[in-house]
Each structure stands twice: as structure tokens, then as C-alpha cells.
Chains A and B, each alone.
Chain A
Amino acid sequence: MGFREELRAWLEASCPSSMRTPMAAGQEVWGGRRRTFPSEDAKLWFERCVERGYTVPSWPVEYGGAGLSPDDAKIFAEELKRIGARLPLVSFGIWMLGPVLLELASETQKREHLPKIARGEIRWCQGYSEPGAGSDLASLSTRARREGDDYVVDGAKVWTSHADHADWMFCLVRTDADGPKHEGISFLLIDMASPGISVRPIPLISGSSPFCETRFDGVRVPAANLVGREGGGWQIAKRLLEHERTIISVMRDAAPEETETLPQQFLRAGSPAGLRDRVIQAELDFLCNRLTLERNRAAPGVASSMFKLYGTELNKRRKELRVLLAGTGGLEWNTAAKEWLRSRANSIEGGTSEIQLNIIAKRVLGLPD
């Protein structure tokens, strides 16, 4: 029996029917020590996938994956999509840290951290931005000084999504303040239960948010938690950002179908003539963007920066149109209003649109600094 047939049979027997429906916001399973499940079925589906390594199907078996070949991984994705199966587990560990650890971490670190990500036992957050280091991330100043077998960390991180629910943080720290700024950065894994860490949620213009500010006050981190070499963190950080940009664009592409399309909302609103051109342009651009994602999958080459840039700018336009098409009804604190306000951050988080333009200009077009 081929892999596809075998997988189909397993999915038929193992994926509860309620897990084959579009996932509403807040229904995701994020894992972690304090993991919760929106339903019994979600828990069952999660556990069955963990058992087979299907939370991270293409990771090697020894790190908690299913060890699928690229071809089989493609079949896996197709079969899940075919029945509309939900992702059993979502996490920054799977999307961002895991791929980087697989590529760059020591064997001990891989065996320590990857299986816990795969099994949803540890939830990770990302410690990158700081109050004084946003787009100029490499100027970060959270300090880690070596004391015996530990690093002692002092400083603050912002926009650490879900830090209040996370067990561990992958964190960029400055281990050398004297040399060139890119060369004094290290990539450190920090247990959020360590003494000296405090977390404060940050309310946004769209209301409550997963974002937090995280402070470090003399936090001791074992030196064994350094990934790569001391001072070599920037290369790892950039690699991880590529995964982040890709996942942002893929997530947007895979987002559940909107229950009402933009043209449908336009018609329901009584076809306001002044908005028609903007609706058409948004639809057309949406189509072009989707086709470009498809083309890139068939023949990779288009920069992840382009998808980050275009996808987020387009999303802002679409969310704004949703509110405009709702009239004053769009000003009440409903989903459309919140999504509109939240979308303003899309072109800031994960590297601003202006930074993406810099990256395209430099790496794709070869324009000088």
C-alpha cells in the first residue's frame, strides 16, 4: 500500500469529524506546559498526531517527527487539505525555532528541545525586538555577560507574542558591546521560569493582544543554552526571520476561507459606486498574489520578502474596505473592526514594509547600500 492510501486510511480512522471544519480564531492548540484544548476532539487529534510524529511530519523521527521525504510531506499536506483537517498543533517552535535548530544546533540541543516542540510539551516565544531596537534589530542591547558556567542577562524585549503563555524563549542577546554591532550578538535559549523574568501584556489599538513586554533582571542562563558560537547569533537570527516571513505569507495564504467574499459584502452593502474600483483592485491583487504564491511553490525563487511586503499591504487594504463597506456599523467593536485595527501592525511586525523593500533592493536587485 502506498503512503497516500495508508495515510488516507489513518486519517479516516483518526481525525475526528469536528477537526475537519474551518478553525475559528482562538481554536488553535499551542501546546506548552500549561496547554489547553478547545475541545476533547482537539485533544484527541493532537495526541494521535503526536504519536505518529505528524505535528512535524518532515522532521527526523529521532527528533519527534515522522521523517517524511519531501514527496511524502507534500502528499501529507495534500491529504490534510483534502479533508480540511485542522493543524493539530501550531507554535513558534514548529515554524521558526525548530527549522533553525535542525540546521544549526548541537546534537545535544536538538535532542533536548526538538522532541518537546514536536510533542507540544514546551511552548516557545521569540525575544527579538527591544524598546530601543525595532527595525534596527542589530542594535539590540539586552546584555548577557559570562559568569562561570552561566550567562547573566539584563534588559528588555518587546512584542514577545504569547510570552505570558510561553515556557521558553529564543532570545537575541548582546555578548560583546565593543565590536561591530552584528558580531556581538548571540542566540540564547532561556527558560521563562528562571528567577528575574517578568512579563507584562501590551494592549493594542485593536484591544487586548498576545504581545508582551518581557524584562530580564539578572537572569542566570546556563552557557550550554547558547546556540552556535558566542557572537554568531546574527546569522542564526536572520535564518530564523526567513522562516518567519515564509510562515507569515503561508499562513495568510492558508487562512480559512472568508465566510463572505469582498464582492459579496459589496453587493450586500448595496453596491456603493464609490467603492467598486477599490473592491475590484483588491480582488485582482489578491488573485495575483495567490497565483504568485502558487508559482513560487512550483518554481521557487521569489523572495520571501516580497510575499511579506505584498501580503501585508494587501491585507491592510482589504480590512479597511471591510469596515468601509460596513458603514458606521464597522465602527462597533466587532470582528471586522478589530481585524482592521490589528491589520495595521501586519506591515510592521516581522520586519516593516520599508525593511522588506530594503531587502528586495539589496538581495534580489543587487542595489548598493
Chain B
Amino acid sequence: MSSRFVDSPEQAELARGARAFVERRIPVAALRGVRARPADDRIDRALWRECAQLGWAGILVGEGDGGAGLGMIEAGLVAEQLGRTLAPTPFLSTAIIGGTLVPSPALAGGDQLVALALDETPFFDARASCETIIRDRGVIGAKRNVLDGPAADRVIVRTQDALAIVDARGPGVTITALDRVDSRSVADLRFDRAPVIDTLSLDHLDRAITRATAALAAEMLGGADAVFATTLAYLKERRQFGVPIGSFQALKHRAAQIFCELELTRSIVRAALAALDANAPDAEPLVSAAKARASDTYLLATAEAIQMHGGIGVTDELDIGLYYKRAMAASMLFGDAAYHRDRFARVAGY
């Protein structure tokens, strides 16, 4: 029962390897690099093929389709490492959502990028009514906030009746890349009789979103953990009034609080991932609890990082601001803390 919290030797090796690769190949400088490019060109496809070589693109894809055939614990371990450096890869959109809904050798090989077009308002709601329709084998509608939309080859569109697969570069699809504060690759999409390649039952949507939400919570944990390590180092090194500022209780107590929040977040994120792998009946509320907690912790850790760094904390030169912006964007993605707290309670009947 308690083994859900202990990595197997294979999982530990996966996490170590992922961390080493991310630190070497996708440091925070990579995000600064894509930030300097236009909003429609922020995914490095060659880099993603390298990630695919490591098995990440097809991490959830069965071995028969050229994937690694692993579970959500493994996916979470990779997402956590990607989160540590804010790595700009299509892991959530392609490996998690695409790998769940449209697994294929092309996807697992890193050659096909997939995006999920779901939101129609600025607020995520998996249960919201949907205006987008399929008519005469063509999708008509508008979607907002599509993660990795600018780079996608295939778009999975939530319509009133089904999930429609369309060719992102085909006729009837207009992609407007958004230049957002978090520099993530995001677009608004319009569909004007975009030809439907295939459809999937709407029944599959919840599973894909729940998995992506859990992986995102792991990504956020990694980011919060990394930014806290930076803050802690600064508290020991920065001197004012002749002493390290980390000797002041006003700061050290808050650092200790953040440490506790991180530990609690680590537990709930891991429990949620394990519950998904075990098909546990409480997986849904655990994922919501994990996302709510990860959102709160990430925002706390990054906001406190800025405050504890003082003036340089608000400069663009430091990476902290990048984490802070990611924390806000990630907390909104797939539902913010308030959304998931509400969902956590509704599932329990209150």
C-alpha cells in the first residue's frame, strides 16, 4: 500500500536521466531562446525528436505503436524534470493528451505534434457547454487557449457531438499564435468547415484531461521545487546588516513554510499519479486535490522568491520572473485552484 510513494529502481533511473538531460539540453536559457522568437515559432521540433529518442513522446503509447508503454508515475517524473527548467516542449499536449487519445508511431517518434482545442472562454471548464459543431464532415467554431496550437500537426477539437481530429495545416483552420507573458506556445484557433479526418467519442475526453492535469501538477511541483532551491541559496548568500538575510526569522519562517507546502504537494501529486495508474476509484478527486495544491504552492513559492530576492527579484535578468509567470499560466491551465477545490468537494457530495 505504501509502496506508491517509493520509486522502483527503473523509475529512479528514469528521473535521474531526465533531470540530467533537461539540465544539459533544455536549461531555462532554452525558454529565453524561444521567447525571442515569434509566438508561432516556439517549439523546437528537432529538440522534441531528441526527447522522443528518450521515449518521452511515446511514454504512454503502447509498445506496439512504437511507444514506451509506461504509466502516469513515469510520465509525472519526466514532467517534474521538465518543469524544473520550464522546458518548452509539447510534452503535455502531445505525449500526454495525444498519447492518450491518438497514439501512433509518428507521435511516439516525435514526428507528429498534437494539440487539444477545448476552451471557448477564458475560463477552463471541462463541463462547459460547447458551441463548436461538426456539419457535413467539417468543424465549425472557435477555440481559445490551445496549448501548443501554433506547432501542432493534428488538432483534437471538442465539438458538441464528438472529438474531431483535423489537420492543423489543412483548409479551414486559422491559427492565431498568442504572445503571452509565460512565453508558452499557445494559440486561438478558428475552424471554418475544417475537414474531419476522424472522430472519437466524447467519453475519452475526461481521461485525457485528467491525465494531463496530473502531469501538469507534477510539472508545477518541479518548477516550485527549483525556484525554492534558488531562493534558499540566495537566503544563505545575500548579506544585509552584516549577516545573511536567511538568519532573519521573518524570512526563515516563511522559507520553512514553503518547504512544508512543497512536501505536502509532493505527496498529493505522487498519490494522484499512482491512483491513475492503479485505476483507483478516488483518482479524480486526488488529481483535483493535486492540481489545487500544486497551483497554490507554485504561486506561493514564486511570489515569495521574488519578495525574498528584493529588487533583483523583479528584474528580467533573473529567472524567477519566468517561473512566476509560468506559475500563473499553469495554475489556469486545465482549471485553477478554486476550480479544482470545487470539483474535489463536488465529487465527495458537498
Contact = CB atoms under 8 A, between A and B. Distances in A.
A310 B348 contact: no
Interface residues of B, number: 38
Interface string A357-369: 1101100111111
A284 B253 contact: no
A30 interface: no
- Chain A facing B: main interface SS: helix
A369 B247 contact: yes
B5 A294 contact: yes
B240 interface: no
Interface stretch (B14-22, B107-115, B265-273, B317-325): B265-273
Contact of B263 (A263, A281, A306, A358): A306
Contacts of A354: 249, 253
B267 A280 contact: no
Interface stretch (B192-200, B212-220, B254-262): B254-262
A115 to B, nearest CB: 33
B345 interface: yes
Nearest to B342: A280
B350 A276 contact: yes
A295 interface: yes
Nearest to B232: A365
B252 A280 contact: no
Contact of B264 (A288, A361, A369): A288
A291 B247 contact: no
A285 B344 CA distance: 12
Interface string B312-348: 0000000000000000000000000000011011001
Interface string A328-369: 000000000000000000000000001011101100111111
B84 to A, nearest CB: 19
B309 to A, nearest CB: 15
B106 interface: no
B8 interface: no
A357 B257 contact: yes
Contacts of B244: 367-368
Nearest to A306: B260
Interface in B97-141: none
A258 B155 CA distance: 49
Given A280-B345, A284-B293, A366 B264 contact: no
Contact of B268 (A263, A288, A358, A366): A288
A297 interface: yes
B46 interface: no
A298 B260 contact: no
Contacts of A281: 341
Contacts of B249: 354, 357-358
A88 B244 CA distance: 51
A288 B5 CA distance: 13
A291 B341 CA distance: 17
Task: Identify the interface centre among A294, A306, A366, A367: most chain B CB within 10 Å of its CB.
Answer: A367
B265 A288 contact: yes
Contacts of B293: 284, 288
B350 A277 contact: no
A356 B246 CA distance: 16
A361 B349 contact: no
B167 to A, nearest CB: 42
Given A276-B345, A284-B293, A288-B289, A368 B243 contact: yes
B247 A367 contact: yes
A297 B2 contact: yes
B301 to A, nearest CB: 13
B344 A364 contact: no
Nearest to A264: B350
Contacts of B247: 367-369
A368 B237 CA distance: 10
Contacts of B267: 288, 291-292, 294-295
B252 A361 contact: yes
A104 interface: no
A177 interface: no
B259 A358 contact: no
Interface string A282-321: 0111011101101101110010001001100000000000
A289 to B, nearest CB: 7
Given A279-B350, A288-B268, A291-B268, A357 B289 contact: no
Interface string A255-289: 00000000100110001000011011101110111
Contacts of A291: 264, 267-268, 270-271
A10 B71 CA distance: 42
A366 B260 contact: no
Contacts of A361: 246, 252-253, 255-256
Interface of B: 2-6, 232, 235-236, 243-244, 246-247, 249, 252-253, 255-257, 259-260, 263-268, 270-271, 289, 292-293, 341-342, 344-345, 348-350
28 contacts: A263-B345, A263-B348, A263-B349, A277-B341, A280-B341, A281-B341, A283-B345, A283-B348, A284-B289, A284-B344, A285-B264, A287-B268, A288-B264, A288-B265, A288-B289, A289-B264, A292-B264, A292-B267, A295-B5, A299-B6, A306-B259, A354-B253, A357-B257, A358-B253, A365-B252, A365-B259, A366-B236, A367-B252
Given A277-B341, A292-B263, A294-B2, 12 more contacts: A263-B345, A263-B350, A271-B350, A288-B265, A288-B267, A294-B5, A295-B2, A295-B270, A309-B260, A367-B235, A367-B244, A368-B247
